Chains A and B, each alone.
Chain A
């Protein structure tokens, strides 16, 4: 079964607005990552947050992690049409730290 579940499944906002996506997971993790996938393309890594971190920033991206609630959020500020894509969270829940388990993704549409 999937480790991560994302909410909402789809999100449509106007350009310039902020977009927030949430990810929940089931077991203890070493780290949580967010990936982006443009239509018909491979996934691209956005940001990694370790289990002992609570917040991390990268450009217009802000990721938070709440290990007590087993949840994470990805905030994209000042959205652009080019941000239209699917976004996936992925967790490393294995003791051997060898594999990532992906959520089902959030489909984000930015309307011009």
Chain B
């Protein structure tokens, strides 16, 4: 099993450009998450999904959109990139359940916005 796979791993954008990060998981997990990691800030939750066709806002959702059209995929979009969105983005997934269990993370996508 590949686990959680993120593409692309690296990307450089100019201010105002758009892009989509793809997260794919092969563990049949219901829940999926997008976090961003900045120096000294830890991980901050952007958006998450508790099932196919559902999405919800996290702590820092502004400037991002997401879609979960298929259970195994969770897309993170930037419509008009800004330098403040330079960060490392992590996708994670977990099984559904009554108590938050272990998150499985991808290896990250490093985005630079010039």
Contact = CB atoms under 8 A, between A and B. Distances in A.
Interface of A: 2, 30-31, 33, 35, 40-45, 48, 50, 88, 90, 92, 94, 97-105
A78 B23 CA distance: 37
Given A98-B50, A99-B48, A99-B58, A104 B42 contact: yes
B68 to A, nearest CB: 14
Contact of A42 (B48, B50, B102, B105): B105
A104 B40 contact: yes
A42 B102 CA distance: 14
B52 to A, nearest CB: 15
Interface in B37-96: 40-45, 48, 50, 56, 58-59, 90, 92
Contacts of A41: 107-108
B1 interface: no
Interface of B: 4, 31, 33, 35, 40-45, 48, 50, 56, 58-59, 90, 92, 97-108
B106 to A, nearest CB: 5
A50 B103 contact: no
B33 A99 contact: yes
Contacts of A105: 42
Nearest to A102: B43
A97 B41 contact: no
A108 to B, nearest CB: 15
Contacts of A50: 99
A97 B100 contact: yes
Contacts of B35: 102
Contact of B42 (A45, A48, A103): A103
A88 B42 contact: yes
